Chains A and B, each alone.
Chain A
Amino acid sequence: MTLIHVPRPDLKIAMNPDRPVNALLKAQVQHLHGAERNLPVRHRTDIYINAIKTEGEAAEYIRQVTTAIHEAHKAAAKKPTRGIAIAAVASDGIPEKSKVSRKAKKRSPKKKTGSTT
């Protein structure tokens, strides 16, 4: 069995968070920005992505939004959904007609988010 030595890069040279952000990271930031706009407001960042110029700045935004997406899904999973809440109300014996009219009054128009299907 052969042991192959793997040289390590010189971190002082290799590491450069001030490097201008490349096209790939720009695209990743833009995709995350699209995802961020679909998050509940309390999970959004206050980072203005057009001001992101360096890899380090991009990395911080990527971290915050990625973490927020996970947290938003976890929070949503803990909450009963609107459908379950309505079903619970219905099971309390509210007549069908008034249940529908209450639902119609409370529902706000659906936003077009541009999210994927």
Chain B
Amino acid sequence: MPPGLDNLKHIVVLMMENRSFDHMLGSLAAVDPRIDGVTDALSNPDTTGASVKPQPLAEFQSQLDPDPDHHFRAVDLQIFGGDTSPARTANMQGFVKSYFNQQEDVGHSQKIMYYFTQSQLPVLTTLALEFAVFNRWFASIPGPTICNRAFAHYGTSFGRVDMNPIYINEPFKNIYDRLLNANPKHTAKLYYYDATSSTMEVANLLQNEPELFGTYQQFLDDCNSGNLPQYSFIEPNYNDHDSDSGEEVANDQHPDHNVQAGELFIASVYNAIKQNADLWTSTALLIVYDEHGGIYDHVVPPACPPDQFTASANDTGTGQPFAFDRLGVRVPAILVSPWIPKGTVVSNRVFDHASIPATITRFFLGSYSPRSPRESNADVFIEPNVAPVDPARNLLSLDTMRTDCPDFDV
């Protein structure tokens, strides 16, 4: 069997906030044309009809204020350009129009097209170029945070497309309980940054199973001591606050939080795994963003098999119900492991956050039922270590572990 899969004992998922692929990694198309990023051919019309091209003018903070709208109705406008006809086609032409609606300032609305240069984001772009970057990882829903994060925990949002609490009314267990209740028992933990940042999974997991949670400091300690669970899900710091160790700046990268603080956080997670040689050998780290945050991306989200739920026209705000049969806007996603060949670009395969419980379940548990239709149809980013492993799909494909992986000076 591939040694990368034979050695794999831990999978860590770090989910950041609200940035699109083109905004964060679009600049890399100029470095590696296999990466589907920003080109000169792309544009969006503003409300005067002028063509606005993506420009490498993104700033770390204070530029996307107010927070770009990314609720279902606004994302519908961003994807379909304002066409509400039954025969409409997604064209990604409504981002500037959508941002204009918030302040009615043409100049400000054009900033939604701005993207970061490679040198501004040394952590994310280095990891993308060094390990595996996904050209087609989409948010699970064309909507906001809570429902998208639910797909990472449950493989469904149970019919929700908004920020309301998600109540579990179907027998789809969260990925943590699946692992903890398995025979033999597996290990899993959610690490929120600290109690002052807490989690976005309040209504079910924190309220009913607080023992699932640890802090980021516990994650660091678990890495140091070699006690990392088989599956770890990390949440960033969602707010600015004081702590015993000083000022804690939000590092989730949600507009208008500082993007450099998020870079430091990503590097800190990477370093924590890499500094323990045994852990580095046996761990895969997925860095992914929950949704695009209303920020421009040029790739049309594909249709997908529907979930068994339907959001009402009232809930979507568009006048039309939604059957969860289209993915959300594309987001950055990078898989890190010393068993991945440098410069891997994953194209021609589609992933979304339902791929997270799908992958964890199949790798650690094998077959499992019941799972939501969306999760059952989701692709996996790590192949199950069961013969025969398809070499064309296995990303941890090296015969010997790399020794040239970068370190970050944090």
Contact A34 B165, CB 8 Å, known A6-B267, A16-B240, A116-B204: yes
How long is the Cα–Cα vector from A53 to B281 in the complex, in angstroms?
A: 46
Contact A117 B169, CB 8 Å, known A3-B407, A14-B260: yes
Residues of A in contact (CB 8 Å), total: 44
Set of chain B residues within 8 Å of A56, measured between Cβ atoms = 239-241
Residues of B in contact (CB 8 Å), total: 55
CB–CB B240/A4 < 8 A = no
- Residue on B nearest A70 in the bound complex, by CB: B210
CB–CB B207/A15 < 8 A = no
Set of chain A residues within 8 Å of B197, measured between Cβ atoms = 59, 62
State the Cβ distance, B301 to closest chain A Cβ, in Å: 21
Other-chain contact of B146, A22, A27, A65 (Cβ < 8 Å): A27
How long is the Cα–Cα vector from A58 to B250 in the complex, in angstroms?
A: 13
CB–CB B123/A25 < 8 A = no
State the Cβ distance, A96 to closest chain B Cβ, in Å: 33
How long is the Cα–Cα vector from A114 to B183 in the complex, in angstroms?
A: 32
- Residue on B nearest A18 in the bound complex, by CB: B240
CB–CB B207/A4 < 8 A = no
Q: Does B328 contact A (CB under 8 A)?
A: no
How long is the Cα–Cα vector from A16 to B248 in the complex, in angstroms?
A: 10
Other-chain contact of A116, B60, B167, B249, B261 (Cβ < 8 Å): B167
- Residue on A nearest B164 in the bound complex, by CB: A27
CB–CB B123/A4 < 8 A = yes
Q: Does B50 contact A (CB under 8 A)?
A: no
Q: Does B277 contact A (CB under 8 A)?
A: no
CB–CB A5/B210 < 8 A = no
Other-chain contact of B168, A4, A62, A116 (Cβ < 8 Å): A116
Set of chain A residues within 8 Å of B250, measured between Cβ atoms = 55
CB–CB A116/B203 < 8 A = yes
Q: Does A2 contact B (CB under 8 A)?
A: yes
Q: Does B41 contact A (CB under 8 A)?
A: no
Fill in one digit per residue for B241-268: 1 if any A CB lies within 8 Å of its CB, else 0. Answer: 1100001011000101110110110010
CB–CB A62/B407 < 8 A = no
Contact A2 B195, CB 8 Å, known A31-B165, A34-B203, A55-B240: no
Set of chain A residues within 8 Å of B267, measured between Cβ atoms = 4, 6
How long is the Cα–Cα vector from A31 to B145 in the complex, in angstroms?
A: 13
Set of chain B residues within 8 Å of A11, measured between Cβ atoms = 247, 249
Other-chain contact of A55, B164, B198, B239, B260 (Cβ < 8 Å): B239
CB–CB B163/A23 < 8 A = yes
Set of chain A residues within 8 Å of B145, measured between Cβ atoms = 24, 27
Q: Does A45 contact B (CB under 8 A)?
A: no
Q: Does A86 contact B (CB under 8 A)?
A: no
CB–CB A69/B210 < 8 A = yes
Count of inter-chain pairs, beta carbons less than 8 A: 152
CB–CB B264/A8 < 8 A = yes
How long is the Cα–Cα vector from A18 to B247 in the complex, in angstroms?
A: 13
How long is the Cα–Cα vector from A53 to B195 in the complex, in angstroms?
A: 19
CB–CB A4/B249 < 8 A = no
State the Cβ distance, B127 to closest chain A Cβ, in Å: 10
Other-chain contact of B206, A4, A15, A25, A66 (Cβ < 8 Å): A66
How long is the Cα–Cα vector from A109 to B102 in the complex, in angstroms?
A: 48
How long is the Cα–Cα vector from A13 to B164 in the complex, in angstroms?
A: 32
How long is the Cα–Cα vector from A116 to B267 in the complex, in angstroms?
A: 36
Interface 9-mer from B216-224, B344-352, B378-386, B398-406: B398-406
CB–CB A6/B207 < 8 A = no
Q: Does A97 contact B (CB under 8 A)?
A: no
Fill in one digit per residue for B189-202: 1 if any A CB lies within 8 Å of its CB, else 0. Answer: 00000011111101
How long is the Cα–Cα vector from A116 to B168 in the complex, in angstroms?
A: 6
Contact A66 B249, CB 8 Å, known A1-B403, A14-B260, A23-B144: no
How long is the Cα–Cα vector from A14 to B199 in the complex, in angstroms?
A: 22
**15 other contacts beyond A1-B404, A14-B257, A116-B203, with CB at 8 A cut-off?**
A4-B122, A4-B123, A4-B407, A5-B409, A6-B410, A11-B247, A14-B258, A22-B256, A23-B67, A24-B144, A24-B145, A28-B198, A55-B239, A116-B165, A116-B204
Can you list 5 A-B contacts (CB < 8 A)? A3-B407, A17-B242, A35-B207, A59-B240, A65-B198
Chain A residues in the interface with B (C-beta under 8 A): 1-9, 11, 13-17, 19, 22-25, 27-28, 30-32, 34-35, 38, 55-56, 58-60, 62-63, 65-67, 69-70, 73, 115-117
